[in-house]
Structure 1
Amino acid sequence: MTARSVPAPAPADASLVALLDLEPLERDLFRASTVFDDPFPLYGGQVAAQALLAAGRTVPAGRVPHSMHGYFLRSGDARRPTLFRVERDRDGRSFSARRVVAVQAAEVVFSLSASFHDREEGLDQQVEPAPDVPAPEALPPLEMPRLFSFEARLPPQPHERSWPTRFWARCTEPLPPAENGGELLHAAVLTYLSDIMTGLSPLATGGFRPTTSLDHAVWFHRSARLDDWVLVDLAGRTTGGGRGWYTGSLTSRDGVLRASIAQESLFRGHRPATAFAEERAPVWRE
């Protein structure tokens, strides 16, 4: 993809795969050149997913991500191309460690540490069952307008708050099978989805609410198909010192835990009551 000299609005049928695409410039240096008008800062899930893809393109064949930890350092701009520089920290017998910085206008906007693992056979256990919710086909739509190529459904919520913390979602664009080398892309699409909501809405009280994401982590326990329905379930854990922390799970339709999420965000009382809702702009309707 080539960068547009004048950013255009994202079309309704924009392709997520094209958005995440990276152009290799030289060894360990990539560029994301698809740009578009967006009234908000660069979506964190986008830059995190692209950084994970950049890291994954430098590891030995067959190694897939098992964890990623990212820090949102500056507000990015969807109207600018982003450079991704990868550091090859280590390649062991079965693990590879990578660090990535995402740069816009000569400033680092995001940094990532990621680890990749050769898939192994082992004891497979899941302690907690998936939340018991209706199938997505029986539920009303949940609009997530910042996401390319996604649809979502709204199940009953575990609390009465403005922002849902539990939802079904799937990528509407066909993705390659994980077993045919597509597992990295599915993990990137999962990462892209994982930052769209917050688990801190039940803790928003007394004029305090979550604002900017500070850091984000994903653990990839099992392969996940993101062009099939997955259930995202988020839960606020604690607030203090101007920050809030939540965790989450992502399970497939068969109830299998595919990934776990954790994020810390600013949690302050200085912004207008509608600021966060306007930034994320989720809408659900009967």
Structure 2
Amino acid sequence: MNEALKELIDLLDLEQIELDIFRGRSPEERIQRVFGGQVAAQALVAAGRTVPDDRTVHSLHAYFIRPGDPSIPIVYNVERLRDGRSFNTRRIMAIQHGKAIFMMSASFHIFEEGVEHQASVMPVVPEAETLPMFQDQMIGLVGDAPEYRDWLSRPRPVDARYASPLTWEAYQNPALKSAQTNVWFRYHAELPDDPLLHVVLAAYASDFTLVDTIMLAHGMAFGASDVQGSSLDHAMWFHRPFRADDWLLYAQESPWAGAGRGLARGEMFTASGELVVSVVQEALIRTTRSQNRR
């Protein structure tokens, strides 16, 4: 387990300061705002600690309200909306500077037998092990540029490998523009057999590339184009158990963009083709020429 993954696991071990009140922190990095996937993952941890062990999260719906301040802790207040025989429903509010920065509703379900089908088919892409790591691809695009050297050399908790063009590649070659992205990812360590941990780590990774999928359709790239992109809302459905330390293919597409916003949706498949997670996100997509401000 590399240091970045150890740090992430530590960030997810929230401090309980009162009944249904938890406190989380952010990495010690020079970033302007807290990564949205981190807030979503920590909120899900807080909710999970208030439900029985025989319940697993099956869905979450979240809104990113304000940018998070990475220099101070985040307080997570959990409200117990319902404790039923089959379902538990929680509402989680993330607070900084006395204001809400994020809110989430999450539902947990006891295991039940039921009808089953899967209509979604995993895209045919090269196997993960045959593809280069994200950092190696980016180094090939930006070279040894000083402004990217530290960012590309730092350890990452997630091993991501693209089976489709990067936004930087489409920026340099508009012929590669596409409204679809396929990314293999896994946490490169043997993780504990804790179902909530694997779900939380999938939630953390789910926010990395959805905005990029919208920008890929327009040949835009962070750091290269005059574009600002950030998550507005985020929804996930967890269909069956999976492990985040095994390869998962994150197949994403952007069906629409307009009015300063863009929609992206994704499906996570195991290497054997089982659909395990569905994701939908709307994001802010704004160029420097835009007049309106969030």
The TM-score bracket by the shorter chain reads: 0.7 to 0.9
Whether 2:244 is the aligned partner of 1:226: answer yes
User: How far apart, in 2, do the equivalents of 1:147 and 1:85 lie?
Assistant: 31
Partner of 1:78: 70
SS of the aligned residue for 1:49 comes to helix
> Contact 1:164–1:197 (CA<8 Å) still a contact in 2?
no
Instruction: Map 1:271-286; keep pairs closer than 5 Å.
Output: none
Deviation per CA, 1:67-100, whole angstroms, max 9, x where unpaired?
Answer: 0011111110222211100000001110011000
User: How far apart, in 2, do the equivalents of 1:162 and 1:44 lie?
Assistant: 24
Instruction: Map 1:10-159; keep pairs closer than 5 Å.
Output: 14-33=6-25, 35-143=27-135, 148-157=156-165
User: How far apart, in 1, do the equivalents of 2:31 and 2:219 lie?
Assistant: 27
Note the C-alpha offset of 1:269: 2.8
Note the C-alpha offset of 1:39: 2.1
Identity across the alignment (%): 42
- Farther off after superposition, 190-199 or 137-146: 137-146
> Contact 1:16–1:173 (CA<8 Å) still a contact in 2?
no
> Contact 1:86–1:101 (CA<8 Å) still a contact in 2?
yes
Aligned residue pairs, count: 259
> Contact 1:35–1:80 (CA<8 Å) still a contact in 2?
no
Partner of 1:255: 273
Note the C-alpha offset of 1:161: 3.6
SS of the aligned residue for 2:277 comes to strand
TM-score, normalised via structure 1 length: 0.82
- Farther off after superposition, 88-97 or 199-208: 199-208
> Contact 1:239–1:245 (CA<8 Å) still a contact in 2?
yes
**Counterpart of 1:103 in structure 2: which amino acid?**
I
Whether 2:177 is the aligned partner of 1:165: answer no
Deviation per CA, 1:32-58, whole angstroms, max 9, x where unpaired?
Answer: 135412323100000000001101111
Note the C-alpha offset of 1:204: 2.3
> Contact 1:165–1:201 (CA<8 Å) still a contact in 2?
no
Note the C-alpha offset of 1:20: 1.3
User: How far apart, in 1, do the equivalents of 2:18 and 2:230 lie?
Assistant: 33
> Contact 1:224–1:252 (CA<8 Å) still a contact in 2?
yes
Gaps of 5+ in 1: 1-10, 273-286
Residue 59 to residue 38, structure 1, CA distance change in 2 (3 Å)? same
User: How far apart, in 1, do the equivalents of 2:236 and 2:132 lie?
Assistant: 28
User: How far apart, in 2, do the equivalents of 1:44 and 1:236 lie?
Assistant: 19
Partner of 1:189: 201
SS of the aligned residue for 1:15 comes to helix
- Farther off after superposition, 197-206 or 13-22: 197-206
Gaps of 5+ in 2: 136-150, 167-174
Note the C-alpha offset of 1:61: 2.2
Note the C-alpha offset of 1:184: 0.9
TM-score, normalised via structure 2 length: 0.80
Whether 2:217 is the aligned partner of 1:203: answer yes
- Farther off after superposition, 145-154 or 210-219: 145-154
Note the C-alpha offset of 1:243: 1.2
> Contact 1:63–1:117 (CA<8 Å) still a contact in 2?
yes
User: How far apart, in 1, do the equivalents of 2:214 and 2:81 lie?
Assistant: 34
> Contact 1:15–1:173 (CA<8 Å) still a contact in 2?
no
User: How far apart, in 2, do the equivalents of 1:117 and 1:215 lie?
Assistant: 23
Residue 14 to residue 176, structure 1, CA distance change in 2 (3 Å)? closer
User: How far apart, in 1, do the equivalents of 2:76 and 2:269 lie?
Assistant: 30
More helix by share: 2
Note the C-alpha offset of 1:166: 1.4
